Amino acid sequence: MHNYLPSLKQMQYLVALHEHGHFGRAADACNVTQSTLSAGIRELETLLGQTLVERTRRVVRFTTLGNAIVEKAHRVLREAEELADMAAAAAAPLVGELRMSVIPTIAPFLLPDLLPRLRKERPSLKLFLREEPSAQACESLHHGQVDCVLLALPYACGDVEAENLFDDALFVAFPGEQSEDLPAMVSADQLDPAQMLMLEDGHCLKDHALAACNRPELRAGARMMGTSLHTLVQMVDNGLGITMLPQMAIEAGILDHTDIDTRPLDSDHDWRTIALVWRKGSPRADEFRMLADIFRKHRAK
């Protein structure tokens, strides 16, 4: 066994520098001075006998070994946090801090109604939210930056456990003048690829919508140009095309003050599943299941 081992603080400094790519910003994120952070990283390099960071006036560049140690440090820091989480969960569940990522096609439509109810039921829970697309949310989860993710499935999020909350149906949204002759439900065969507006890459709703249609030509012909559902709604309302919207967005009023009409999508997979996801083996798994039960209960009301 080594007589001297890297400290958690040194690993925190190294991870922060890797994330921010700048000594000053990394020091701010760690709430220390730049000299303290720089000294801590130099101490770590001296301890290991290896250069981890190449320093120049303009850029911070990690060595190959430095990048590998950052990955390992992420896991060590995450497991250290889980030790504290284990003790906290044993004392009282859903008390104290909990960090959750939420994807942009869920956050503005579900949280405004859900969070006040959660705060009323669990006043001692401090829920810190982070809105980011699915890929970044899953990366944040596995790097220990968040504890759980409110996600839409199916989505490959790595080695995780999940509690399904509810199914969220998909609707086709048309400019008002196009909706008069539409049937009560619209099949994927009736959709014109040249008219289809989709979210940009990185949003899992795009993949869910394309999978629901099961038409390869839609993927090739659809225009990936929306940065948010609200942007897509504005384009449809101005007659630029059609799009897919989840039921929760419609119920939350995204179509208020527009002339857009919607029809349910008639498909074998015309929905996405909203789920709470966390790292497999997390000591807080029972807490997350309790949180999922609370979400389900309030969604049903």
Reference 147, options 86, 71, 208; nearest CA is 86
Partner residues linked to 61 by β-bridges: 54
Structural domain contains residue 296: yes
Query: pLDDT in tens for each of the 301 residues of the chain?
Result: 456 788 999 999 999 999 888 999 999 999 999 999 999 999 999 999 899 999 877 788 999 999 999 999 988 888 888 777 666 666 667 888 899 999 999 999 999 999 999 999 899 899 999 999 999 999 999 988 999 999 999 999 999 999 999 999 999 999 987 767 778 888 888 888 888 888 887 778 878 877 777 666 666 556 666 789 999 999 999 999 999 999 999 999 999 999 999 999 888 888 999 999 999 988 889 899 999 999 998 876 6
Q: How many CA atoms lie within 13 A of 275 on its CB side?
A: 18
- Chain-centroid distance, C-alpha 87: 26
Which of the listed residues 87, 122, 155 is the one where a domain comes to its end? 87
By CB neighbour count within 10 A (0-12 exposed, 13-18 middle, 19+ buried), where does 110 fall?
buried
Q: 295 and 166 in contact (C-beta within 8 Å)? A: no
- Structural domain total, the chain: 2
Burial group, residue 159, by CB count within 10 angstroms (0-12, 13-18, 19+): exposed
- The verdict on 19 and 117 lying in the same domain is no
Residue 219 lies in a domain: yes
CA separation for the pair 223, 195 (Å, rounded): 8
User: How far is the C-alpha of 57 from the C-alpha of 28, rounded, in Å?
Assistant: 19
**CATH of residue 159:** 3.40.190.290
Contact 95, 124 (CB under 8 A): yes
**Considering the entire predicted model, what is its pTM?**
0.72
| Residues 144, 249 within the same domain | yes
Rg, C-alpha atoms of the chain:
23
Helix (H) or strand (E) holding 279: strand 271-279
Handedness of CA 119, 122, 127, 133 (dihedral sign): negative
- How many whole angstroms separate alpha carbon 149 and alpha carbon 189? 34
Residue 3 lies in a domain: no
End-to-end CA distance of the chain: 57
Handedness of CA 119, 121, 126, 128 (dihedral sign): negative
Output the six-digit token pair for 162.
């999940």
State the residue range of the domain holding 31: 8-87
d(CA 12, CA 32): 11
In a domain, 132, yes or no: yes
For residues 37 and 47, what is the distance between their CA atoms, to the nearest angstrom? 15
